[in-house]
C-alpha cells in the first residue's frame, strides 16, 4: 500500500466512526434522556451504555437506567426511587436522611444546615435549620453525627429546640403567609407544626433517639422547597440541588452546600 491508500483507509474509518456516532445520537432512547436533563446540564453521548458495565451489589434487585446528563451514569432505582449504590444507608450512615421525594442518603454534617425552606422567593415564608454534632462513638476516620438542635423560623416567629427545651419568640422581621408555630410536648417527643398557605408542616422530634421526622400536607410548596430534604416535586433524581440551583450527584458536596453561612459551632 502506498501513503495515499493509508490516508484513504484512515479517512474511511473516521467517516464510519462519525456515522456510528451520528446514528447513536439519533437513537430515540437517548433523545428521551436528553430532553430530561436538568437545565444547564449537558447531554453526553456515551460510547458504552453505562448500565451494561455497572452493578449495584447493595441493591441487587434495583432497576438500572442509563443517565446521560453531564456524564455517563448508571442510575439505580428501587420502587421508582433513586438509590445510592456506594452507601449502605442501612448500616454505615448516620444521620440517615430521606428527602421529601424519598431519596435516601447519608450525610455527616457538623454545625448548622438548612433542613428545608421555602425557596420560592428571596424572602422565604419559613426556614428550618438543624444543628449536627459528633456522636460519642465518632472517631477520626468515621465521623458520626446527630441532630441536637432545631431552629424553626416562620415569618417573624421562631422556635429554637434544644433537647426537650423549646424557646419561642418573635423577631422584628416581616410577617408572611405563615401562621403560628404550634409546639406540643408528648412524653420524650416534641411535635412542632405550622401552616403556610394551604400546607401544614409537621416536625416530630424524638429527643433521645435524635430522630427528626418531617412531613407536610398540601400542594402550595411542591417543587418550591430546598435544602437537605430536597425540592418535593415527586422526582428523586433532582433532589441534590445546591442553593444556586445546580443538580449534583455527590451527597457530601450536596450536604455541605446547605451549611448555614456565618454560624460557628464548637
Ligand X SMILES: *[C@@H]1O[C@H](CO)[C@@H](O)[C@H](O)[C@H]1NC(C)=O
Residues that bind ligand X (CB under 6 A): 127, 129, 151, 153, 158, 160, 186, 191, 202, 204, 211, 213, 215
In sequence order, what DSSP letters do the residues of 139-196 get, joined into one string?
-SSS--EEEEEEEEEETTEEEEEETTEEEEEE-SS---SB---EEEEETTEEEEEEEE
Rank residues 67 and 129 by Cβ distance to ligand X and give the closer one: 129
Burial degree of 124 (CB within 10 A; 0-12, 13-18, 19+): buried
Rounded to a whole number of angstroms, the minimum distance from the CB of residue 91 to ligand X is 17
Rank residues 70 and 102 by Cβ distance to ligand X and give the closer one: 102
Task: Please state, in angstroms and rounded to a whole number, the distance separating the CA atoms of residues 210 and 145.
Answer: 10
Rank residues 27 and 217 by Cβ distance to ligand X and give the closer one: 217
Rounded to a whole number of angstroms, the minimum distance from the CB of residue 225 to ligand X is 14
107: CB partners within 8 A, 6+ apart = 93, 95, 97, 228, 251, 252, 254, 255
Task: Please state, in angstroms and rounded to a whole number, the distance separating the CA atoms of residues 47 and 21.
Answer: 8
Rounded to a whole number of angstroms, the minimum distance from the CB of residue 85 to ligand X is 24
Rounded to a whole number of angstroms, the minimum distance from the CB of residue 18 to ligand X is 54
Rounded to a whole number of angstroms, the minimum distance from the CB of residue 189 to ligand X is 7
Strand partners for 216: 201
Rank residues 152 and 247 by Cβ distance to ligand X and give the closer one: 152
Rank residues 51 and 225 by Cβ distance to ligand X and give the closer one: 225
Burial degree of 120 (CB within 10 A; 0-12, 13-18, 19+): middle
Task: Please state, in angstroms and rounded to a whole number, the distance separating the CA atoms of residues 82 and 237.
Answer: 6
Residue whose C-alpha is closest to residue 256's, from 214, 226, 228, 230? 228
96: CB partners within 8 A, 6+ apart = 89, 104, 106
Rounded to a whole number of angstroms, the minimum distance from the CB of residue 50 to ligand X is 33
Rounded to a whole number of angstroms, the minimum distance from the CB of residue 78 to ligand X is 17
Rank residues 131 and 247 by Cβ distance to ligand X and give the closer one: 131
Residue whose C-alpha is closest to residue 155's, from 129, 169, 173, 168? 173
Rank residues 125 and 127 by Cβ distance to ligand X and give the closer one: 127
Amino acid at each position: 500500500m502506498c501513503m495515499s491508500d493509508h490516508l484513504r483507509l484512515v479517512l474511511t474509518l473516521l467517516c464510519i466512526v462519525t456515522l456510528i456516532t451520528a446514528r447513536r445520537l439519533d437513537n430515540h432512547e437517548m433523545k428521551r434522556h436528553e430532553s430530561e436533563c436538568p437545565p444547564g446540564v449537558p447531554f453526553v453521548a456515551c460510547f458504552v451504555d453505562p448500565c451494561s458495565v455497572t452493578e449495584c451489589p447493595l441493591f441487587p434487585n434495583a432497576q438500572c437506567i442509563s443517565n446521560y446528563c453531564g456524564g455517563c451514569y448508571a442510575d439505580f432505582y428501587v420502587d421508582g426511587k433513586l438509590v445510592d449504590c456506594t452507601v449502605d444507608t442501612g448500616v454505615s450512615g448516620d444521620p440517615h436522611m430521606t428527602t421529601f421525594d424519598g431519596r435516601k442518603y447519608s450525610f455527616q454534617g457538623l454545625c448548622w444546615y438548612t433542613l428545608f425552606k421555602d425557596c420560592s422567593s428571596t424572602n422565604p415564608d419559613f426556614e428550618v435549620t438543624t444543628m449536627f454534632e459528633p456522636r460519642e462513638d465518632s472517631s477520626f476516620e468515621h465521623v458520626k453525627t446527630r441532630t441536637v438542635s432545631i431552629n424553626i423560623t416562620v415569618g417573624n416567629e421562631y422556635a429554637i429546640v434544644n433537647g426537650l427545651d423549646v424557646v419561642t419568640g418573635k423577631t422584628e422581621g416581616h410577617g408572611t403567609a405563615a401562621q403560628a408555630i404550634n409546639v406540643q410536648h408528648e412524653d420524650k417527643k416534641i411535635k412542632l407544626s405550622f401552616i403556610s398557605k394551604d400546607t401544614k408542616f409537621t416536625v416530630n422530634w424524638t429527643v433521645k433517639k435524635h430522630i427528626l421526622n418531617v412531613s407536610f400536607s398540601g400542594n402550595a410548596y411542591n417543587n418550591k422547597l430546598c435544602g437537605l430534604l430536597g425540592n418535593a416535586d415527586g422526582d428523586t433524581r433532582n433532589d441534590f440541588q445546591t442553593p444556586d440551583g445546580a443538580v449534583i450527584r455527590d451527597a457530601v458536596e450536596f450536604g455541605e452546600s446547605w451549611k448555614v453561612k456565618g454560624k460557628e459551632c464548637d
